[in-house]
Chain A
Amino acid sequence: DIQMTQTPSSMPASLGERVTISCRASQGISNYLNWYQQKPDGTIKPLIYYTSNLQSGVPSRFSGSGSGTDYSLTISSLEPEDFAMYYCQQYDSSPTFGAGTKLELK
């Protein structure tokens, strides 16, 4: 199975700050990488598919990039509703998720 190493596991940040979350795959995944946001009530919101494509309705402050084994999610200017858990997921082979990043208000 492909392992996804997501960093950092938690990140204190301020409103308006630019943040980046990283995921590294144990082998190349050919850009087959999604990003999700999960709120404390358990609701999962898809953000990005195939590395850099914004899901419908997702604000443009979210962006994704990467290739090979290294991928990242960037939020250009944090809004109050962005403080949540974030997960990456590869689907090059049997899907696996990163362990998650908790984005917290500093």
Chain B
Amino acid sequence: QVQLEESGPGLMQPSETLSLTCTVSGFSLTSNGVGWVRQPLGKGLVWMGTIWAGGSTNYNSAVQSRLSISRDTSKSQVFLKMNSLQPEDTGTYYCASQPYGDYWGQGVMVTVSS
């Protein structure tokens, strides 16, 4: 059974660096891509970036300068790091298999507020 689970801090201060982890099971990171998707409160879904099976990455141009996605295949974990947080980064962050989106985590809520 494939599972993806996001974890990370719920509350961040502006200008801080966000670190999120996506832990996967029943699913090989060397055979599948994993992406991060953000959903601002009450709004739609926005793709942020993907790390592919071979380890290469692609990022949404809107956040590319602040975002880094990496992984630890031995721990079956994918990481998101985004610096210079602003209140508009508030939302629910999901990890999901790519490119078919056939598996999603439950999401983790992140609030950026002073």
A-side residues, CB < 8 A to B, are: 1, 32, 34, 36, 38, 42-46, 49-50, 55-56, 87, 89, 91, 94-100
Say whether B46 faces chain A, with CB atoms less than 8 Å apart: yes
Say whether B45 faces chain A, with CB atoms less than 8 Å apart: yes
- Choose the segment among B9-17, B73-81, B95-103 that binds chain A (4+ C-beta atoms closer than 8 Å): B95-103
CB–CB B104/A44 < 8 A: yes
Which 5 residue pairs are nearest across A and B when measured between Cβ atoms?
A95-B47, A49-B100, A97-B45, A91-B99, A44-B104
Residues of chain B contacted by A34 (CB below 8 angstroms): 100-101
Give the CA-CA distance A32 to B107 in the complex, in Å.
24
> Total interface residues on B, using CB and 8 Å?
22
Given contacts A95-B35, A95-B99, contact A46 B104 (CB under 8 A): yes
Residues of chain B contacted by A55 (CB below 8 angstroms): 100, 102
CB–CB A46/B101 < 8 A: yes
Give the CA-CA distance A7 to B26 in the complex, in Å.
36
CB–CB A44/B100 < 8 A: no
Given contacts A36-B101, A50-B100, contact A94 B60 (CB under 8 A): yes
Say whether B23 faces chain A, with CB atoms less than 8 Å apart: no
Give the CA-CA distance A44 to B4 in the complex, in Å.
12
For residues 58 through 108 of chain B, which have their beta carbon under 8 Å from a beta carbon of chain A?
58, 60-61, 92, 94, 96, 98-104, 106-107
Give the CA-CA distance A56 to B39 in the complex, in Å.
25
Say whether B54 faces chain A, with CB atoms less than 8 Å apart: no
CB distance from A22 to the nearest CB of B (A): 16
Given contacts A42-B106, A42-B107, A44-B94, contact A1 B61 (CB under 8 A): yes
Q: List 6 A-B contacts (CB under 8 A).
A: A44-B45, A44-B94, A45-B104, A49-B101, A94-B47, A94-B60
